[in-house]
Amino acid sequence: LTVLGLETSCDETAASVVRLTPDGVATVLSSIVHSQIDDHAAYGGVVPEIAARSHVEMIEGVTRRAMDEAGLGYEALDGVAATAGPGLVGGVMVGLSFGKAVALARDLPLIAVNHLEGHAVSARLGEPVAYPFLLLLVSGGHCQLLEVRGVGDMTRLGTTIDDAAGEAFDKIAKAMGLGYPGGPALEKLAAAGDGARFDLPRALLGRKDCDFSFSGLKTAASRLAATCETDQDKADLADAVQKAIARQLGERSDRALKDYAENHQHRLFVVAGGVAANKTIRSTLEEVARRNGFDFLAPPMAYCTDNAAMIALAGAERLQKGLVSDIDAAARPRWPLDEHKALADPAHK
């Protein structure tokens, strides 16, 4: 199956063509990502109206490039997958409407994809990972532990009770004057720091569930940011923040792995989402997996942050299962991954 994927839920306009064999081996034929970082940098975060307008300007050219790089005409496609939520609804509507137009014009099935499901399958873009697996999804807007059995078949085990990990990175980085997006900038600065002198709060220690909390850390670190005088102070704080986030992700994942191991034969732990690009976090999680006797996998770096290859792949896997959408599928600002009713209903309405 060959599927065109479109992603416009936040601040990247992306299109990709992915081929999926019947036994689940994915090949990325093209993956074009136009980041809007420059459009939003002056505002210190994503401005929804600017994002939606930029998607309108970019979507056609980005899609054409994806088709050209794949070396295919539209007649070679088996389906069109577009992110239908969750995200900034103005942007989601641009990609989804464009996908509907291509589907109608070329008489192709439309697959409305949950952006989080895209992140959930993204590790399969690197190698043919077998289902099921335990997933830590850490992105700009989400921080969840999920049992993943396949597309349309996931159970959430825990989630953040306040902020997402990426949000914590971004807000603390902003308070430190590092600009937007904050995660990569904070990671770079942390390399020159030693966070040992900062004592940051540890949330939910010893709790027997798989939830997360980052707001206490965010508040404490933002206050400390105001006291930093030298570049070294800032680097030290960045290191302390990164370690604190990594530690919580590790502690909560450890809890989930132990629960999961009691009920499952499979021993695979996967991390995905933008924060999975962080090397300290990757190595912390890999160590937690190893201690619990699990294999560990993260997507190739390029597929951690938002991209359309993950949307094309989720679409192709859905198409294989016969889960196609109605042409009037709605854009959804909120859309929980394990909302079984929505996922079981091919119309997604």
Give me the residues that bind Mg ion (CB under 5 A), please: 10-11, 306
Tell whether residue 125 is a contact of ligand ATP (CB under 6 A): no
**Residue 98-117 contact track with ligand ATP, rule CB under 6 A, x = bound:** -----------------x--
Q: How far out from the chain centre does Cα 126 lie?
A: 15
Nearer to Mg ion, 10 or 58 (CB): 10
Rounded Cα distance between 189 and 88, Å, is 30
Size of the site for Fe ion (CB under 5 A): 2
Nearer to ligand ATP, 18 or 67 (CB): 18
Give me 168's structure tokens: 């914590």
Which parts of 115-144 interact with Fe ion (CB under 5 A)?
A: 139
Contact 140, 166 (CB under 8 A): yes
Nearer to ligand ATP, 259 or 306 (CB): 306
Question: Of these partners, ligand ATP, Mg ion, Fe ion, none, which one is at the site of residue 5 (CB under 5 to 8 Å by kind)?
Answer: none
Nearer to ligand ATP, 86 or 109 (CB): 86
What are residue 305's phi and psi, to 5 degrees?
A: -75, 175
Tell whether residue 147 is a contact of Fe ion (CB under 5 A): no
Reduce the DSSP state of residue 47 to 3 states and report it: coil
Nearer to Fe ion, 13 or 292 (CB): 13
Give me 207's structure tokens: 């709790």
Tell whether residue 183 is a contact of ligand ATP (CB under 6 A): yes
Give me 175's structure tokens: 């308070």
CA gyration radius, the chain: 20
Instruction: List, as own/partner pairs, every contact residues 169-173 make where C-beta atoms lie below 8 angstroms and the sequence separation is at least 24, other chains included.
Output: 169/241, 169/245, 169/275, 170/45, 170/140, 171/218, 171/222, 172/217, 172/218, 172/221, 172/222, 172/225, 172/241
Other CB atoms within 10 Å distance of the CB of residue 44: 14
Q: Determine if residue 266 is labeled as part of a ligand binding site.
A: no
**Residue 210-249 contact track with ligand ATP, rule CB under 6 A, x = bound:** ----------------------------------------
Closest by Cα among 105, 95, 108, 104 to 14: 95
Tell whether residue 83 is a contact of Fe ion (CB under 5 A): no
165-175 helix and 231-263 helix, angle to the nearest 10 degrees: 170
Rounded Cα distance between 147 and 141, Å, is 19
N- to C-terminal Cα separation, the chain: 25
For residue 216, the one-letter residue type is G
Q: Determine if residue 138 is labeled as part of a ligand binding site.
A: yes
Size of the site for ligand ATP (CB under 6 A): 23
**Residue 69-98 contact track with ligand ATP, rule CB under 6 A, x = bound:** ------------------x-----------
Nearer to Fe ion, 9 or 320 (CB): 9
- How near is the Cβ of 8 to Fe ion at its closest, in Å? 11
Tell whether residue 305 is a contact of ligand ATP (CB under 6 A): yes
Question: Of these partners, Mg ion, Fe ion, ligand ATP, none, which one is at the site of residue 259 (CB under 5 to 8 Å by kind)?
Answer: none
Interface residues with ligand ATP (CB under 6 A)?
10, 87, 115, 119, 139-142, 166, 169-170, 181-184, 187, 273-275, 277-278, 305-306
Residues lying near Fe ion in the complex (CB under 5 A) are found at: 139, 306
Q: Which residues does the annotation place in the binding site for substrate?
A: 137-141, 170, 183, 187, 278
